[in-house]
């Protein structure tokens, strides 16, 4: 139930600032109030909803400063994951997974397509690339922290939906170049270089922060995917 409510928030089906109650959500989702109560408590810890005095909960409204803070924290965490992955080194299976992600992204970008299906597939492959690096890092506390920022509604993938076509294609190409450099640094066990590259990579959305806020509805009504950075 927590995942279902989180999805409704990330998709914009429960808009920012909207008041929600246990009884209302239970009726909407055709379940009892108990799982709704537990789910709302979890989402409050994730800062997706806020307690409204004597009125249940309210979907949190995010600001430009919130977006900047989330991106900066995630960039630091992603950088740490890349450094740890480089220091540990890659197994052949892990390297093959990262290479496969890069190859699939290359085909996608080369197609020149710039539509919903393309952005969705880009996000899915991108998730796999970053998740593999986090897995290689092998730090459970770091993984949990990254998952927490993933559950917030500001991710890099929505940026593709609000950019003009040519800029979206350029953003995907630049992201791909970053992925290639990251893989090279991790392959060569260059921890400091991998950390720097990942941090710079993860901070890219800062330049478009105001645009993401301006187009919040577009950014939050795409299919919810657990994306981190480009």
According to DSSP, the β-strands at 49-51 and 19-20 are: unpaired
Last residue of a domain, one of 15, 43, 59: 59
Range of the domain at 40: 2-59
Q: What is the pLDDT of residues 32-67, one digit of tens each?
A: 989 998 999 888 887 788 886 667 898 888 788 888
Residues 36 and 98 in one domain: no
Alpha carbon separation from 65 to 49, 71, 147, 148, 213 (Å, rounded) = 17, 10, 20, 18, 10
For the chain, percent of residues with pLDDT exceeding 70: 82
What domain count does the chain have?
2
Q: What is the pLDDT of residues 65-84, one digit of tens each?
A: 888 888 899 999 999 999 99
Q: Angle at Cα 112 formed by Cα 109 and Cα 118, nearest 5°?
A: 65
Residues 125 and 200 in one domain: yes
Q: What is the pLDDT of residues 170-216, one digit of tens each?
A: 889 999 999 999 999 999 999 999 999 999 999 888 877 766 666 55
Q: Residue 31: which CATH number?
A: 1.10.10.10
Residues 84 and 186 in one domain: yes
Is residue 139 assigned to a domain? yes
Is residue 33 assigned to a domain? yes
Is residue 230 assigned to a domain? no
Q: Are 205 and 213 in contact (CB under 8 A)?
A: no
How many whole angstroms separate alpha carbon 198 and alpha carbon 189?
A: 14
CA proximity to 181, closest of 133, 137, 222, 111:
133
Last residue of a domain, one of 33, 59, 85: 59
Is residue 229 assigned to a domain? no
Is residue 125 assigned to a domain? yes
Last residue of a domain, one of 12, 32, 59: 59
Q: Residue 94: which CATH number?
A: 1.20.120.530
Is residue 226 assigned to a domain? no
For the chain, percent of residues with pLDDT exceeding 90: 41
How many whole angstroms separate alpha carbon 54 and alpha carbon 52?
A: 6
Residues 115 and 102 in one domain: yes
């Amino acid at each position: 139930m927590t995942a279902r409510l989180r999805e409704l928030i990330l998709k914009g089906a429960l808009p920012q600032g909207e008041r929600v109650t246990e009884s209302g959500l239970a009726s909407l989702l055709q379940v009892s109030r108990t799982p709704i109560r537990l789910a709302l408590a979890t989402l409050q810890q994730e800062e997706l909803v806020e307690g409204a005095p004597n009125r249940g909960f309210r979907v949190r409204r995010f600001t430009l400063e919130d977006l900047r803070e989330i991106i900066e924290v995630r960039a630091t965490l992603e950088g740490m994951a890349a450094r740890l992955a480089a220091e540990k080194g890659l197994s052949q299976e892990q390297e093959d997974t990262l290479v496969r992600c890069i190859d699939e992204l290359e085909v996608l970008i080369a197609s020149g397509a710039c539509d919903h299906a393309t952005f969705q597939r880009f996000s899915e492959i991108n998730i796999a690339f970053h998740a593999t690096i986090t897995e290689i890092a092998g730090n459970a506390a770091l993984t949990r922290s990254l998952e927490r920022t993933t559950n917030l509604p500001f991710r890099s993938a929505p940026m593709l939906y609000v950019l003009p076509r040519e800029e979206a294609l350029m953003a995907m190409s630049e992201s791909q170049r970053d992925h290639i450099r990251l893989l090279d640094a991790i392959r060569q066990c260059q921890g400091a270089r991998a950390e720097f590259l990942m941090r710079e990579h993860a901070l890219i959305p800062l330049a478009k922060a105001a645009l993401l806020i301006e187009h919040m509805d577009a950014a939050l009504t795409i299919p919810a995917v657990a994306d981190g950075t480009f």
